[in-house]
Structure 1
């Protein structure tokens, strides 16, 4: 019997060819209550046409809605949207789904869904042959009547997909079944897609794309992240909360979802079940390096799988560590990371030459471009967080810091009932202040230079060359201002650091306020470039303080979400 044809890039080969012949394409729309719809469009169709088709198919009002992916709002033209990129239709006014506001002149019939049970929709060009085979095996099993099984652990919906023999081969996590998402199967509901979730810096419905990002960033499978892709998946086993869904069709009806699709890894235990002292240093370092790059806010023992190495006894200390569950990485703003490995003895060991070479070979700007290309729905703030943390890691490793020291600088410390800003946050705050000041000074200088004539410019150069030249009052005042600014800029960061931090902490002592002022996505390209320049200048001095302060670190209480 011929195997069912798997949809790579969203469509089966036959149907994709038919669309190309007639000049059509396919997009995938998800509304903020979780429902997903695949639509075939002519190349000339606009956003309004998409809204009408969604309204006809799902009986939801779309007049005051917006079609978005990531930070991008699509005004009218869809030509820039890559085929099979999942788009989110957000509604400005949330009306009762029991009384949809349908246009009386609507003449669009509900579109047909040509989808296979599992279709790739994100990171497809980087999809490995092994991942494509997993999807093929899953589709074959579904057609053969093998039903996925809901995992009992965790706060969100996760399903074991199996092959035809009944063996688990993948973990599938629908985006609308995350904690707080509309169709969460375990009672943790209350928010629509796009609102803040378990972490304020990570929105509901956007953890799946982060799972894929972590895999794509794990070059050469350095940290052993299992193969992961973003898919559109259709099955009756998925949960739909009838009081929330706008198209509930009863138990047993197939429903389409956007989900992360990750290879299932057979393992003997997880890091929370056994002693960690015998874990290989290199395995801990590799996971830690990844966690620092992606600013993982939830690395706990339960999401580090442990596998015994062949021909090694359980007590022999030969284990392989496999990191999973990266949905709470790459936050939009600085948050408090959680690194389970922070106080493991391996994290205090120096990096090996191989690890240092890997770190220095990383290119944060190329990484960000790759994610823009493969996962265009990932928000700009997440990409800038990746750039920031990779720069931080590269400079820290070059300065001789250990993984434990790096993780400690990124982590907040409890002080009574409050959290102190982390060293990374303090550096970022000062960098932002200095970048804003430098840009303001440059703008002021440009404005002043437009007003100063040739004679004033020559006089200013003489004053800056030696301070003994006599000047008239008006020109002297302008020159003294410039001299003061240049003197301030030439002052070593170490000499002004203490006063800047004290002033900063007096004005903003709460980490929430700090996060509000460090919204990286709100910076213009010029502001972001100036910020990074100041950030790198301040890092060397921060690393010297870290090495010389001889701080005694205290075990931090865990804040893991474990879903």
Structure 2
């Protein structure tokens, strides 16, 4: 019998089986809440309330609304990603022709950002971090999406594949809320309990970014919801530039893409003990095997990427998890963790791991620095 983690199918929403019906690539049999969100999306589009292009950012991303005009999701089509052919934002169009040597990122698979977004949500779920708004891969169509014009006639409105992320309400960019908190400033207005809570949430984000090797974390794409004395939550978004096929440091000499939080004073604080214990209880060879298996299935079923490149992505991710575990055991800080020697990790076993000893199951090797380019 297949377990929930084996279920990966295209799911057409019930009662909406018409030409423009939304389809979801389901990675979990228990996605009823997300299916309900997609039902609201389809009902709004049928009522003429279409997604709205987000003016900021470098790609074609859209706020999706319900029938009341309230934002409920963010859709990022594959063919409107920063370096895709139908990106409606002009700066990337000019960069393709005028600065082609720095076009894209050598360590990433082109036009797979939508997979990366969903992969980050999956990793967040498996690590029980609960900081990434639920994200799934779907197909949908809307007249407000960017479509190439035909030589004669109107635009062809067709279904687009992309990532769909739940919109979170009441959150603000960290740069507007948490600058003093992250700088460990004496001006920090948080109580002692809130400071511990913020450190706990911040280190969860560090874990996520490190495992997926996020190359695009900055103070605009992690969000804070704060009500003094009542609510303190963190949401990490924008993971389209993660899951590299090689470590960025081995792909380029001039663009290493460091983690945006590395230089914050709070990153130098040791691991929160409750988070450290929680993660060490999870991290076993079998956990890593299942995680990589789930992510590979998602990437293979959701796109047309080369399986060899996907396996390279898993080697990098295993290496990051290898270092994360060692950092947790050593009771380091996130800032210390990122200084560890880079490794890529392959498996020694066939099928599934038969031991809980990491050295019996995995082989850690230094990455290959040959062939590095300038950009």
Shorter-chain TM-score bucket reads 0.7 to 0.9
Seen in structure 2, the aligned counterparts of structure 1 residues 120 and 392 have a Cα distance that, compared at 3 Å, is same
Following the alignment from structure 1 to structure 2, what is the Cα–Cα distance between the partners of residues 389 and 372? 16
Q: Residue 386 in 1 paired to residue 306 in 2?
A: no
Following the alignment from structure 1 to structure 2, what is the Cα–Cα distance between the partners of residues 222 and 344? 21
Q: Residue 395 in 1 paired to residue 326 in 2?
A: yes
Deviation at residue 311 of structure 1 after TM alignment: 5.2
Q: Residue 370 in 1 paired to residue 294 in 2?
A: yes
Following the alignment from structure 1 to structure 2, what is the Cα–Cα distance between the partners of residues 145 and 218? 34
Partner in structure 1 of residue 341 of structure 2: 424
Seen in structure 2, the aligned counterparts of structure 1 residues 331 and 182 have a Cα distance that, compared at 3 Å, is same
CA contact (8 A) 1:284 1:341 kept: no
Deviations 1:192-238 (A, max 9, x none): xxxx9621111222010010011011137514100100011111111
Q: Residue 161 in 1 paired to residue 79 in 2?
A: no
Following the alignment from structure 2 to structure 1, what is the Cα–Cα distance between the partners of residues 50 and 363? 53
Partner in structure 1 of residue 43 of structure 2: 140
Seen in structure 2, the aligned counterparts of structure 1 residues 369 and 197 have a Cα distance that, compared at 3 Å, is farther
Q: Residue 322 in 1 paired to residue 239 in 2?
A: no
Seen in structure 2, the aligned counterparts of structure 1 residues 211 and 249 have a Cα distance that, compared at 3 Å, is farther
Deviation at residue 184 of structure 1 after TM alignment: 0.5
Following the alignment from structure 1 to structure 2, what is the Cα–Cα distance between the partners of residues 397 and 203? 30
Q: Residue 406 in 1 paired to residue 337 in 2?
A: yes
CA contact (8 A) 1:157 1:177 kept: yes
Size of the alignment, in residue pairs?
310
CA contact (8 A) 1:201 1:331 kept: yes
Query: 1:339 pairs with 243, 254, 259, which one?
Result: 259
> Could you state the TM-score of these two structures normalised by the residue count of structure 2?
0.73
Deviations 1:372-423 (A, max 9, x none): 233324622112221111111011211221111112x1xxxxxxxxxxxxx5
Deviations 1:70-104 (A, max 9, x none): xxxxxxxxxxxxxxxxxxxxxxxxxxxxxxxxxxx
Following the alignment from structure 1 to structure 2, what is the Cα–Cα distance between the partners of residues 143 and 320? 34
Q: Larger RCO: Structure 1 or Structure 2 (Cα < 8 Å, ≥ 6 residues apart)?
A: 2
Alignment of 1:262-273 (within 5 A): 262-273=165-176
CA contact (8 A) 1:168 1:264 kept: yes
* Partner SS, residue 169 of structure 2: coil
Query: 2:227 pairs with 309, 320, 329, which one?
Result: 309
CA contact (8 A) 2:52 2:63 kept: yes
Following the alignment from structure 1 to structure 2, what is the Cα–Cα distance between the partners of residues 371 and 206? 13
Deviation at residue 342 of structure 1 after TM alignment: 1.4
Following the alignment from structure 1 to structure 2, what is the Cα–Cα distance between the partners of residues 269 and 399? 34
Seen in structure 2, the aligned counterparts of structure 1 residues 249 and 357 have a Cα distance that, compared at 3 Å, is farther
Alignment of 1:136-535 (within 5 A): 136-187=39-90, 188-189=92-93, 190=96, 198-219=104-125, 221-242=128-149, 251=154, 253-278=156-181, 280-309=198-227, 312=230, 319-335=232-248, 336-360=256-280, 361-362=282-283, 363-376=287-300, 377=303, 379-407=310-338, 409=339, 423-425=340-342, 428=343, 532-535=362-365
Partner in structure 2 of residue 85 of structure 1: none
Following the alignment from structure 1 to structure 2, what is the Cα–Cα distance between the partners of residues 346 and 266? 26
* Partner SS, residue 424 of structure 1: coil
Seen in structure 2, the aligned counterparts of structure 1 residues 350 and 168 have a Cα distance that, compared at 3 Å, is same
Following the alignment from structure 1 to structure 2, what is the Cα–Cα distance between the partners of residues 386 and 141? 39
Following the alignment from structure 1 to structure 2, what is the Cα–Cα distance between the partners of residues 350 and 138? 43
Instruction: Report the structure, 1 or 2, having the larger helix content.
Output: 1
> Could you state the TM-score of these two structures normalised by the residue count of structure 1?
0.50
* Partner SS, residue 283 of structure 1: helix
Deviations 1:156-208 (A, max 9, x none): 000011001000100000111111211000122349xxxx9621111222010
Following the alignment from structure 1 to structure 2, what is the Cα–Cα distance between the partners of residues 259 and 178? 9
Following the alignment from structure 1 to structure 2, what is the Cα–Cα distance between the partners of residues 331 and 403? 20
